[in-house]
Amino acid sequence: MYLFNQGVNYESYRMLGAHKMQSSDGENGYLFAVWAPNAKSVSVVCDGNGWDRNLGRMHKHNASGIWERFLPGITEGQNYKFSIETHRGDLLMKADPFAFYSEVRPANASVTTDLSYTWKDQTWMDARIHTPLYDKPVNIYEMHFGSFKTRDDGSFYSYTEMIDILIPYLKKMGYTHVELMPICEYPFDGSWGYQVTGYYSANSRYGKPTELKALIDALHQNGIGVIMDWVPAHFPRDAYGLAQFDGTALFEHPDSRRGEHKEWGTLVFDWTKTEIFSFLISNALFWLGEYHMDGLRVDAVSSMLYLDYNRRDGEWLPNRYGGKENLEAIDFLQKLNTAVFERFPNVMMIAEESTAWGGVTKPVHEGGLGFNFKWNMGWMHDVLDYMQCDPLFRKGNHNKLTFPMMYAFAENYILALSHDEVVHGKRSLIDKMWGTYEEKFAELKLLYSFMYAHPGKKLLFMGGEFGQFVEWRFAGQLDWMLDQYESHAKLHKFCANLNHFYRSHPCLFEIERETGDWKGFRWLNAEDRDNSVLSFIRSNADETEKIAVILNFTPVERVKYKVGVPEYGEYEVVLNTNAKSYGGDGKGTRRVKARTKPLNGYPYSIELTLPPLTAYYLHLTKLPVPAAKKNTARGKKTSSTNSNK
Say whether 385 is catalytic: no
DSSP 167: H
Say whether 299 is catalytic: yes
Three-state secondary-structure class, residue 321: coil
**Rg of the chain in Å (alpha carbons):** 29
Catalytic residue among 299, 382, 514, 528: 299
Contact 43, 57 (CB under 8 A): yes
240-274 burial, b for 16+ CB within 10 Å, e for fewer? bbbbbbbbbbbbbbeeeebbbbeebebbbbbbebb
Element of type H or E holding 642: helix 640-644
Contact 28, 72 (CB under 8 A): yes
> In the chain, which residues have pLDDT < 70?
514-517, 629-645
Q: Whole-angstrom Cα distance, residue 315 to residue 547?
A: 52
Strands 139-143 and 177-180 turn out to be: parallel
Contact 559, 576 (CB under 8 A): no
Amino acid at 569: G
Bridge partners for 351 per DSSP: 298, 374
Q: Quote the distance between the C-alpha of residue 260 and its chain's center.
A: 25
Q: How many CB atoms lie within 10 A of CB 21?
A: 11
Predicted confidence at residue 644, as pLDDT, reads 36
| Cα–Cα nearest to 71, from 100, 97, 98, 45 | 45
| Cα–Cα nearest to 330, from 371, 296, 373, 289 | 371
Q: What are the DSSP calls for 515-575, one per residue?
A: -S--TTEEEEES--TTTTEEEEEEE-TTS--EEEEEEE-SSS-EEEEEEEESS-EEEEEEE
Predicted confidence at residue 630, as pLDDT, reads 59
Predicted confidence at residue 112, as pLDDT, reads 98
Predicted confidence at residue 441, as pLDDT, reads 98
Q: Whole-angstrom Cα distance, residue 292 to residue 213?
A: 8
Predicted confidence at residue 638, as pLDDT, reads 43
Ordered structural domains, the chain, with CATH: 9-111 (2.60.40.10), 521-622 (2.60.40.1180)
Q: In what order do the strands lie in the sheet with 569-576?
A: 521-525, 533-539, 546-552, 614-622, 569-576, 591-593
Predicted confidence at residue 629, as pLDDT, reads 66
* Distance in Å from the first CA to the final CA of the chain: 98
Bridge partners for 565 per DSSP: 604
Q: How many CA atoms lie within 13 A of 527 on its CB side?
A: 3
What's the per-residue H, E or C state across 379-428?
Answer: HHHHHHHHHCCCHHHHHHHCHHHHHHHHCCCCCCEEEEECHHHHCCCCCC
The helices-and-strands tally (H runs, E runs) of the chain is 15, 28
Q: Where are the beta strands (DSSP E) in 1-153?
A: 17-22, 28-35, 41-46, 59-61, 66-72, 79-85, 91-94, 110-111, 139-143
Predicted confidence at residue 627, as pLDDT, reads 83
Backbone angles phi, psi at 494, to 5 degrees: -60, -45
Q: Whole-angstrom Cα distance, residue 363 to residue 334?
A: 9
Element of type H or E holding 185: strand 184-185
Q: Whole-angstrom Cα distance, residue 452 to residue 499?
A: 8
Strands 41-46 and 177-180 turn out to be: unpaired
Predicted confidence at residue 515, as pLDDT, reads 66
Contact 358, 392 (CB under 8 A): no
Q: Whole-angstrom Cα distance, residue 90 to residue 93?
A: 10
Predicted confidence at residue 645, as pLDDT, reads 30
Strands 260-261 and 266-267 turn out to be: antiparallel
Q: What is the pTM of this model?
A: 0.94
Catalytic residue among 352, 353, 512, 528: 352
pLDDT tens digits, one per residue of 218-251 = 999 999 999 999 999 999 999 999 999 999 999 9
Contact 170, 496 (CB under 8 A): no
Contact 447, 387 (CB under 8 A): yes
Three-state secondary-structure class, residue 601: coil
Beta-carbon contacts of residue 248 (< 8 Å; ≥ 6 apart) = 38, 86, 254
